[in-house]
């Protein structure tokens, strides 16, 4: 149960980082400056085009070899989860913002708001409601991907199960136990996301 708690902590920390990076990358893609757009596209190309496992190994084992930087397993894991998920979060954020009718921006500007004020007070609040469902899915995916942290010696749920299997030789018992725990956590996240969608009446215009 302690390792389950650590799994949740690592995942939510990575998810928080992904939201920050995703926001930066999404605005970089929509920027009028070519340099920002190219940097955002390069980020997306790399992190969507390579497996998370490879990124984990490059970060944890590569930095000490290339730059002589001492890496901490759980810190490397959180950063890797955040950078990987940030690429996908950026597309959710960008898609939600661009789905808002352009008339909303024009209405805000006609009221005397600046571009940033219109984004903050009108566009972003509407976009957030449209992000809920895909962001919930992304968080659930990140929970499952967190099991890869075991490959860089992070003692999360899956690695703890492997350690206990090595001690007791009860393979199926522990594998089934962690499968049930992953299932319960992910379904709890799904239910919370659905409750938030209903509270904010997301998708009512499609009914």
pLDDT of residue 128: 86
Distances (CA, A) of 154 to 6, 18, 60, 141, 162: 10, 20, 11, 18, 12
pLDDT tens string 98-120: 888 887 777 887 777 777 888 87
Check: CB of residue 98 under 8 Å from CB of residue 66. no
Q: To which residue do tokens 């984004």 refer? A: 119
pLDDT of residue 207: 44
Q: Please compute the mean of the pLDDT values over residues 117-129 and round it to a whole number.
A: 83
pLDDT tens string 141-163: 999 999 999 999 999 999 999 99
For 88-114, the three-class secondary structure string (H helix, E strand, C coil) is HHHHHHHHHHHCCCHHHHHHHHHCCCC
Check: CB of residue 22 under 8 Å from CB of residue 90. yes
Q: Smallest Cα–Cα separation from 139: which of 15, 6, 8?
A: 15
Question: In the chain, which ranges are continuous DSSP H helix?
Answer: 2-30, 34-49, 52-57, 63-67, 73-98, 102-110, 115-118, 124-145, 157-168, 171-199
For the cut 80, the answer to whether the pLDDT of residue 39 exceeds it is yes
- What is the pTM for the complete model shown? 0.89
Structure tokens at 194: 């659905």
Domains and CATH numbers, the chain: 2-206 (1.10.3720.10)
Mean pLDDT of the chain: 90
Q: Smallest Cα–Cα separation from 82: which of 152, 21, 158, 137?
A: 21
Q: Please compute the mean of the pLDDT values over residues 176-202 and round it to a whole number.
A: 91
pLDDT of residue 1: 87
């Amino acid at each position: 149960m302690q390792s389950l708690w650590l799994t949740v902590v690592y995942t939510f920390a990575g998810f928080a980082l992904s939201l920050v990076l995703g926001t930066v990358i999404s605005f970089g893609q929509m920027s009028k400056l070519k340099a920002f757009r190219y940097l955002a596209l390069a980020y997306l190309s790399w992190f969507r085009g390579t497996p998370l496992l490879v990124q984990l190994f490059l970060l944890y084992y590569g930095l000490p070899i290339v730059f002589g930087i001492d890496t901490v397993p759980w810190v490397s894991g959180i950063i890797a989860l955040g950078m990987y998920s940030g690429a996908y979060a950026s597309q959710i954020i960008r898609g939600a913002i661009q789905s808002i009718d352009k008339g909303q921006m024009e209405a805000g500007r006609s009221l005397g708001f600046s571009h940033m004020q219109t984004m903050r007070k009108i566009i972003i609040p509407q976009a957030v409601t449209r992000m809920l469902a895909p962001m919930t899915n992304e968080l659930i995916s990140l929970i499952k991907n967190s099991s890869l942290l075991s490959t860089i010696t992070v003692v999360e749920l899956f690695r703890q199960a492997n350690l206990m299997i090595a001690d007791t030789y009860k393979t199926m018992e522990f594998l089934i136990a962690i499968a049930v725990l992953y299932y319960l956590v992910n379904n709890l996240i799904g239910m919370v996301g659905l409750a938030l969608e209903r509270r904010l009446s997301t998708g009512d215009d499609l009914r």
